[in-house]
Structure 1
C-alpha cells in the first residue's frame, strides 16, 4: 500500500472511530458532551476530531442519517403490530417518545427542526413525520380523532417533547401534560363517556 493509500485508510478509520465514540458519549452525556470526551473515547487527539469535524454540528450532521434510518426502521416494525388507526397513532406517539428518550441523535434531529410543518428537513425527519401524518389522516377518516387536531399539533407534540427532554429545568410532570394533550384529542363516543 502506498503512503497516500495508508493515510486515506487512517482517515477512514479515524472517522469510524470518532462516529462510534460520539454515539457512545452522546448516549451517556447528551449531545452537548465535551468534544474532548469523544476524542478520548475514540483514542484520537482532539486535533484529529477537529480535522475531520470542524464543529459539533458537522459531527451531529454526520451521525443523524443513521439515527433517523434506525428510528424509521423501529417505528415501521412497531406499527406492523397495530390493528386500527387509533392504536396505530398511539403507538406512533409512544414509540417516537421512547426513541427520543433513548436516542440522543434522533432527539437532536427533532430538536433542530424548524417550528413549522411546511419546512423540509434535509436530515430525514420528514420521513418520520410523514408516517405520523399518514396515521393522522387515517384517524380523521375513521372519525376517532378530533378534526381540530392537525399536522401542526402532531408536529408540536414531538417538538415539545424534544425540547423538554433536553431541558434539565423542565417541570417534573411535563410528560404527563403532553400525554393529556394527546388524550384530549380523541373523539369520545357516547358509550365512552
Structure 2
C-alpha cells in the first residue's frame, strides 16, 4: 500500500486553520454555514478549502465526528446514571435535545442533514444504539408505552430540533416545554391507540438521512 504523502508545513498550517474555523462556524451557524465564511475566518482562499477537502461533506466528516462523539458520549454516560429505566431514557432524550438546542451543528448531526458523511454516520449510529437500548429497557419495565418503536426516536429528535431552532433567539429554553409534553405522552400510563403504525427501517433512514433540503 502506498503511503499518503505528507503535507508541507504551510499546507499543514492551512488545514489546521481551516479545521479550527470550521469547528467554530459549524457550531455557531450549523453545518450549512457558507464555506466562503469558513475560508475567510481561516485566512485562506476558498480554493484552498476545496483543494484540501473537496466537498462540504468531506469537510464535515473530517472535522465534526470527534467533536460529536465526545458530546454524544457524555449524554450517554449521564443517562446511564439514571436510577430507573425511565430515568435513563428521559436523560438520554433530554440530553440530545440540549445538544441540539445549544449547538446548531449537533442539531444537523442528530437529524442527519448531510448523509454522505460515513465517519459521522458511525458516530450517530453508536449513540442511537444506546438510545434504542434505553427505550427497550423502559418498555420492558412498563414505564415507556409498549408501542414505542426505536424508529420513533427519529420523530422525537426531528421535533425537538425544529422547536429548538424556532425559539433559539426568542426563548432558548422553550423547547424543553414541548419535549416535556412529548415525554408525558410517551409514558405507558398515558398511552392511547395511535392513528398510524411505526416507521419502517427504510422510512426512518429516509427521514434521518435526508439530504440538505432546507
Please state which band the TM-score falls in when normalised by the shorter chain.
0.7 to 0.9
Q: Output the CA distance in 1 between the equivalents of 2:36 and 2:121.
A: 28
Cα–Cα, structure 1 residues 106 and 30, in superposed 2: closer, same or farther, change >3 Å? closer
1:111, 1:163 within 8 Å by CA — same for their partners in 2? no
Gaps of 5+ in 2: 115-119, 191-214
Q: Counterpart in 1 of 2:63?
A: 63
Q: Output the CA distance in 2 between the equivalents of 1:167 and 1:9.
A: 43
Q: CA deviation at 1:33?
A: 2.1
Q: CA RMSD in A?
A: 2.9
Q: Output the CA distance in 2 between the equivalents of 1:73 and 1:174.
A: 22
TM, length-normalised to structure 1: 0.78
2:23, 2:64 within 8 Å by CA — same for their partners in 1? no
Q: Counterpart in 1 of 2:210?
A: none
Q: Output the CA distance in 2 between the equivalents of 1:104 and 1:12.
A: 28
1:22-66 CA distance string (max 9 Å, x none): 111122223222222211211212221111122222211222311
Q: Counterpart in 2 of 1:151?
A: 150
Higher RCO by CA contacts (8 Å cutoff, separation 6 or greater): 2
Q: CA deviation at 1:76?
A: 2.9
Q: Counterpart in 1 of 2:185?
A: 184
Q: CA deviation at 1:161?
A: 2.6
TM, length-normalised to structure 2: 0.71
Q: CA deviation at 1:96?
A: 0.4
Q: Output the CA distance in 2 between the equivalents of 1:111 and 1:18.
A: 24
Q: Counterpart in 2 of 1:161?
A: 160
Q: Output the CA distance in 2 between the equivalents of 1:31 and 1:147.
A: 35
SS in 2 for 1:150: coil
Q: Output the CA distance in 1 between the equivalents of 2:30 and 2:154.
A: 23
2:137 is the counterpart of 1:138: yes
1:111, 1:159 within 8 Å by CA — same for their partners in 2? yes
